[in-house]
């Protein structure tokens, strides 16, 4: 296989996909290279899903710039892509005078960064608006323009919209060698494929330092920093209405408690530097730390409602700021690396910035056929009964409920497969089948039936998330 592109993006996380989608606004042949079988397989599937207001980053940094810019355009992008985004606001809560001083600093920093609407609220306001929070809270910084989204669904939406607009995404392509051939980079995969491209963009997340080195570009270091989370079952009444942060420390923004856009409660993450870049294990110490600190804010928090635990790995650079630049030595090689928090918020702004930069560089014309709109899969759980009846008339499979916890229909699963889902996890992220309280106990075999039928493969070939993640090892009969 050999393909020639104007621009190739390594890594199909939210940053890579945002850049890819923005690139399709221009008349450029673009692709993304992803080592896994789906988008959002790294940090983009395992983070807090917060759209930050922008009071945290030090003014003048790239983090500050892209956070605030990202926050400003986030709603528009989600609107175009039919992705849930709820501007529920956030609170940073302070327990003593020292922490109140920190709130004041954050408020001033936020103002300098151009964040609107920040206010420090007293105890009374906090308890009136968040009655379940600890009575030991003295004050809180209120940021009305903070919000929540679904990070992997945003990534999927960006992916689908990129495909709609002509981009290629090549899965299972683990970059192992980068060469220069005239004006082109030749990018080789571990399974002996290669592509050629004029511009190469490195969005490889925790592995971005290795890719940069492979390209002969600037040397930097990415430290994997793990964060562990609890997901709680959908409560009858949300314990908090906003994202609740604690005062940040040098370790980051600390442990938060928030509703998710899907109606669960998310608690986490802690912060721990780890040795291996893919050690996504959860640990007792990590989860205990999360629970204890979250309980400080929300004393009624109970482990009884936990439906799952997980961890994500942040790509923390040794530069203390996002690395977003064309390499000084290797022309047309662009690092977009070290995008830790507020990376999700920044993603949409980074995408625009990079696409403009590249288009300018390549003198690319506008793609007049660019369609910014992408429609989400119609979801049984979100429609009225009348709409459901209409849909079932059109598609009878819309009336076949496959995942009973989240009320996901067969139609939605088939639709996710048509849009590129090949693994169980990729279906789960797109449809929520298996994300509910029974964690796939009921629907996993049914989803496998559908996957096997639609992709015309035997069930022994179905994986959880690619490579060797097989569910069934052997079929007991011959057809």
476 interacts with other proteins by CB under 8 A: yes
238 phi and psi, to 5 degrees? -60, 130
Q: Does 220 contact other proteins by CB under 8 A?
A: no
Binding span for other proteins by CB under 8 A among 192-200, 210-218, 239-247, 307-315: 307-315
Q: Is 181 in the site for other proteins (CB under 8 A)?
A: no
Q: What number of other Cβ atoms are within 10 A of residue 51's Cβ?
A: 30
d(CA 365, CA 358): 11
Residues 261-280 interacting with other proteins (rule: CB under 8 A) = 278, 280
Nearer to other proteins, 117 or 445 (CB): 445
Distance CA 220, CA 323 (A): 9
Which residues touch 85 (CB under 8 Å, ≥6 apart)?
51, 74, 75, 78, 79, 147, 148, 149, 261
CB closer to other proteins out of 183 and 387: 387
Among 303, 320, 331, 366, binds other proteins (CB under 8 A): 303
Name which position in 27, 296, 361, 464 contacts other proteins (CB under 8 A): 464
Cβ contacts of 208 within 8 Å, gap of 6 or more: 11, 202, 222, 315, 323, 335, 336, 337, 338
Give 251 or 475: the residue with its C-beta nearer to other proteins: 475
Q: How far is the CB of 286 from other proteins (least distance, A)?
A: 9
List CB contacts of 383: < 8 A, sequence separation 6 or more: 391
Give least dist CB 229 to other proteins, A. 11
In the bound state with other proteins, the residue whose beta carbon lies nearer, of 296 and 459, is 459
**CA torsion through residues 345, 322, 194, 196, sign:** positive
Three-state secondary-structure class, residue 39: coil
| 172 is an interface residue for other proteins by CB under 8 A | no
Specify the residue, 109 or 207, whose C-beta has the smaller distance to other proteins.
Answer: 207
Binding test (CB under 8 A) with other proteins, winner from 192, 284, 300, 369? 284
Choose which of 72, 164, 283, 367 interacts with other proteins (CB under 8 A). Answer: 283
Nearer to other proteins, 288 or 375 (CB): 288
Residues in the interface with other proteins (CB under 8 A) total 54
Least Å distance between CB 71 and other proteins? Answer: 31
Residues of this chain, 391-410, that bind other proteins according to CB under 8 A: 392-393, 396-397, 399-401, 404-405, 407
The reply on whether position 437 binds other proteins by CB under 8 A is: yes
Q: Is residue 385 near other proteins by the rule CB under 8 A?
A: yes
Q: How many CB atoms lie within 10 A of CB 166?
A: 15
Which residues are CB-contacts of 96 (< 8 A; sequence separation ≥ 6)? Answer: 138
Judged by CB under 8 A, does residue 460 bind other proteins? yes
Contact partners, residue 360, CB within 8 Å, separation at least 6 = none
Task: Rule CB under 8 A: say whether 475 interacts with other proteins.
Answer: yes
Query: Does 257 participate in binding other proteins (rule CB under 8 A)?
Result: no
209 phi and psi angles, rounded to 5 deg? -70, -35
Q: Which of 105, 191, 292, 389 binds other proteins (CB under 8 A)?
A: 389
Both structure tokens of 336: 């977009």
Asked whether the beta carbons of 337 and 345 are under 8 A apart, the reply is no
Angle at 56 between CA 348 and CA 124, to 5 degrees: 115
Site string for other proteins, 232-251 (x = CB under 8 A): ----x---------------
**Which one, 65 or 422, has the nearer CB to other proteins?**
422
Closest CB 475 distance from other proteins, rounded Å: 6
Contact between 418 and other proteins per CB under 8 A: no
284/369 with CB nearer other proteins = 284
- Residue written as tokens 């890719």? 211
The full DSSP string for 99-142 is: HHHHHHHHHHHHHHHT--S-EEEEHHHHHHH-TTS-TT--EEEE
Interface residue with other proteins among 127, 388, 420, 454 (CB under 8 A) is 388
Binding-site member from 199, 287, 344, 359 for other proteins (CB under 8 A)? 287
Which one from 52, 98, 188, 207 is the annotated catalytic residue? 52
320 contributes a contact to other proteins by CB under 8 A: no
Please give the structure tokens belonging to residue 207.
Answer: 């592995």
DSSP letter (8 states) at residue 145? T
Tokens of 432: 């929520």
Is residue 310 close enough to count as binding other proteins by CB under 8 A?
yes
Interface with other proteins by CB under 8 A: which range of 22-30, 150-158, 352-360, 459-467? 459-467
Within 360-463, strands assigned E span 401-403, 408-409
Buried b (16+ CB within 10 A) or exposed e, 335-368: bbbbbbbbbbbbbbbbbbbbbebbbeebebeebe
Active site residue 207: no
Q: Are strands 85-86 and 90-94 parallel, antiparallel or unpaired?
A: unpaired
User: Which range of residues in 183-191, 217-225, 305-313, 336-344 is near other proteins by CB under 8 A?
Assistant: 305-313
Residues that bind other proteins (CB under 8 A): 231, 236, 278, 280-284, 287, 303, 306-310, 385, 388-389, 392-393, 396-397, 399-401, 404-405, 407, 437-442, 444-445, 453, 459-460, 463-477
Catalytic residue annotation: 52
């Amino acid at each position: 296989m050999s393909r020639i592109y104007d621009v190739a993006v390594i890594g199909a996380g939210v940053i890579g996909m945002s850049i890819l989608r923005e690139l399709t606004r221009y008349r450029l042949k673009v692709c993304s290279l992803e080592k896994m079988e789906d988008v959002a397989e790294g940090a983009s599937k395992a983070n807090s899903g917060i759209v930050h207001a922008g009071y945290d980053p030090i003014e003048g940094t790239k983090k500050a710039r892209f956070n605030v810019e990202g926050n400003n355009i986030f709603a528009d992008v989600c609107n175009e892509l039919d992705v849930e985004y709820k501007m529920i606001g956030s609170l940073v809560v302070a327990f003593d005078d020292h922490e109140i001083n920190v709130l004041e600093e954050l408020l001033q920093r936020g103002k300098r960064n151009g964040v609107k609407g920040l206010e420090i609220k007293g105890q009374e306001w906090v308890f009136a608006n968040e009655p379940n929070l600890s009575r030991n809270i003295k004050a809180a910084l209120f940021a009305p323009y903070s919000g929540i989204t679904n990070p992997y669904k945003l990534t999927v939406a960006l992916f689908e919209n990129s495909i709609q607009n002509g981009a290629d995404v090549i899965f299972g392509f683990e970059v192992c060698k980068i060469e220069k051939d005239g004006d082109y980079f030749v990018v080789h995969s571990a399974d002996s494929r290669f592509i050629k491209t004029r511009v190469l963009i490195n969005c490889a997340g925790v592995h971005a330092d290795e890719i940069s080195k492979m390209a002969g570009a600037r040397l930097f270091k990415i430290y994997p920093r793990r964060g562990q989370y609890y997901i709680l079952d959908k409560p009858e009444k949300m314990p908090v209405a906003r994202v609740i942060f604690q005062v940040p420390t040098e370790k980051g923004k600390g442990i938060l408690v928030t509703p998710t856009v899907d109606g669960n409660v998310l608690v986490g993450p802690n912060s721990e530097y780890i040795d291996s870049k893919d050690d996504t294990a959860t640990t007792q110490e990590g989860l205990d730390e999360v629970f204890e600190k979250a309980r400080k804010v929300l004393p009624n928090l109970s482990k009884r409602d936990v439906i799952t635990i997980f961890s994500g790995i942040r790509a923390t650079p040794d530069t203390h700021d996002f690395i977003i630049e064309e390499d000084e030595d290797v022309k047309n090689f662009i690092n977009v690396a070290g995008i830790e928090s507020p990376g999700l918020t920044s993603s949409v702004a980074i995408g625009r910035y990079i696409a403009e930069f590249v288009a300018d560089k390549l003198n690319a014309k506008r793609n007049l056929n660019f369609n910014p709109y992408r429609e989400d899969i119609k979801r049984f759980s979100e429609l009225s009964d009348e709409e459901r009846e209409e849909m079932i008339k059109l598609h009878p499979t819309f009336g076949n409920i496959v995942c009973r916890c989240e009320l996901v229909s067969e139609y939605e699963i088939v639709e996710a497969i048509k849009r590129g889902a090949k693994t169980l996890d990729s279906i789960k992220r797109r449809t929520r089948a298996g994300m509910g309280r029974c964690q796939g106990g009921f629907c996993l075999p049914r989803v496998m039936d559908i996957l096997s039928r639609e992709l015309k493969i035997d069930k022994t070939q179905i994986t959880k998330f690619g490579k060797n993640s097989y569910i069934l090892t052997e079929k007991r009969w011959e057809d």
